Structure 1
Amino acid sequence: MSFYYNLNNFIKLVVILSVFLGAAGCVSSDMTDLEKQVSTIMSKPGGQLEPLPQIKPYEAYVYESSKLQSKDPFKRFYIQEQSMAIEDTEQGPVDDGLTEEMRNEIQNRNREELERFELDSLKMVGTLTDEENNWGILIDPGGIVHRVKTGNYVGLNIGKITSIQEEQIEVREIIRDSSGRYEERIAKLTLIE
């Protein structure tokens, strides 16, 4: 054991000495070549630098909410269509096909993010299940992934998700026909493989 230990130390010593001797051989005290190169570079005329661009002074923006007294930050920023209200005529109220439940659903809710897209442009890519809910996984046209559950709204036609299964999501839409009456239609988003 001591033979190998001494041999290891000897090899380390030889390597370290050879590195130092090699480095010492590379050093030269003759600097005439370097001085000649520096003098030729310094004798050449220097180039002209372009002037620095003008920097515009920073103008700070001061936000003054007192000037916006007429703006209500809690007011809806989109206009909800009021064409779904019942119109009274001389013969009585017009039958537009809406049930009271459908009417409340249309008028008394906030729009959800996926209601900005056509139903055909949304793609179902999977489902998740936990103790309480089945979740559907949808991708919008911009490639953003969304998680939806039964009761969420999708599409432009007040599409309410009625059931989520492994292979499809069933959506009940409220569509206006050519005569101006509203009717329910069932649409399905099927799983893309």
Structure 2
Amino acid sequence: MTRTVKLMGMMVSMGLLTGCADAELTQLESTLADIRQSPGGQPPVIAVALPESRTLAYLYSEDRSPFLPPDAIAQDDADRSEGALAPDQQRIPEPLERFSLQELRLVGTMRMAGRQVAMIASPDGNVTSVKEGNYMGTDYGRIAQISAQEIRVTERVFTQREGWQERQVSLAINENNE
């Protein structure tokens, strides 16, 4: 009985598999052969002509920026040069003023001729020696004090509401050399 069941199962399977065969398969093979024999190449490039457009001039570059808050509007650069804390715009910038304080790194300090001197590494690979009174950073930072492990810098920043303000920041020697 098991043998007959196996035989019947095989017969049904063969019948089902015969239904999967397609009589049109030869036609598909001949079509593919024709395609393979035809010359290939790149399809032709069809260039679509774009309509001509005219250039428009932007006439509002001198107007108020819509991205500024209303209370920060219309303060001339002349206002920036006024005030007791305004930096000297006539002063020749020092080499380390090209970089922000975040880009500068304190690599060491030493005493020379009775004065404390700091060694500052800049992103361009140079190491510059500075003393108290030198300027560094993009915010008119002036070195106020140099100690063995850090330097204190007084920066001057301009805000629309309060004008020129001073802030104290420091650069410390990084033990990890990062």
- Name the TM-score, length of structure 2 as normaliser: 0.51
Aligned twin of 1:23: none
Unaligned runs of 5+ in 1: 1-80, 87-97
Within the candidate set 97, 109, 125, 2:107 is matched to 125
Q: Structure 1 runs of 4+ off > 4 angstroms?
A: none
Matches within 5 A, 1:93-104: 98-99=83-84, 102-103=85-86
User: Which SS does the other structure have where 2:88 is aligned?
Assistant: helix
Matches within 5 A, 1:67-78: none
Structure 1 letter corresponding to 2:159 = D
Would you say how many aligned residue pairs link Structure 1 and Structure 2? 99
- Deviation track 1:68-89 (CA, whole Å, cap 9, x = no partner) reads xxxxxxxxxxxxx766223xxx
Q: Aligned equivalents of 2:167 and 2:151: distance in 1? A: 14
Aligned twin of 1:15: none
Report the identity percentage. Answer: 31
Unaligned runs of 5+ in 2: 1-76
Within the candidate set 79, 85, 105, 2:81 is matched to 85
Determine if the alignment matches structure 1 residue 115 to structure 2 residue 97. Answer: yes
Q: Aligned equivalents of 2:93 and 2:117: distance in 1? A: 19
Evaluate the alpha carbon distance shift between residue 129 and residue 118 of structure 1 in structure 2; reply closer, same or farther with a 3 A threshold. Answer: same
Q: Is the 8 A contact 2:80 2:158 kept in 1?
A: no
Structure 2 letter corresponding to 1:84 = R
Q: If each structure's helix is expressed as a fraction of its own residues, which one has the higher value? A: 1
Q: Is the 8 A contact 1:106 1:158 kept in 2?
A: no
- Deviation track 1:118-146 (CA, whole Å, cap 9, x = no partner) reads 11110001001023311000100122111
Evaluate the alpha carbon distance shift between residue 107 and residue 137 of structure 1 in structure 2; reply closer, same or farther with a 3 A threshold. Answer: same
Computed over aligned residues only, the root mean square deviation of the Cα atoms, in angstroms, reads 1.8
User: Which SS does the other structure have where 1:114 is aligned?
Assistant: helix
Q: Aligned equivalents of 2:123 and 2:130: distance in 1? A: 16
C-alpha displacement of 1:176? 1.2
Determine if the alignment matches structure 1 residue 177 to structure 2 residue 173. Answer: no
- Deviation track 1:2-34 (CA, whole Å, cap 9, x = no partner) reads xxxxxxxxxxxxxxxxxxxxxxxxxxxxxxxxx
Evaluate the alpha carbon distance shift between residue 83 and residue 114 of structure 1 in structure 2; reply closer, same or farther with a 3 A threshold. Answer: farther
Which has the bigger relative contact order, CA under 8 A and spacing at least 6? 2
Aligned twin of 1:157: 139
Q: Is the 8 A contact 1:137 1:148 kept in 2?
A: yes
Aligned twin of 1:70: none
Q: Aligned equivalents of 1:180 and 1:113: distance in 2? A: 29
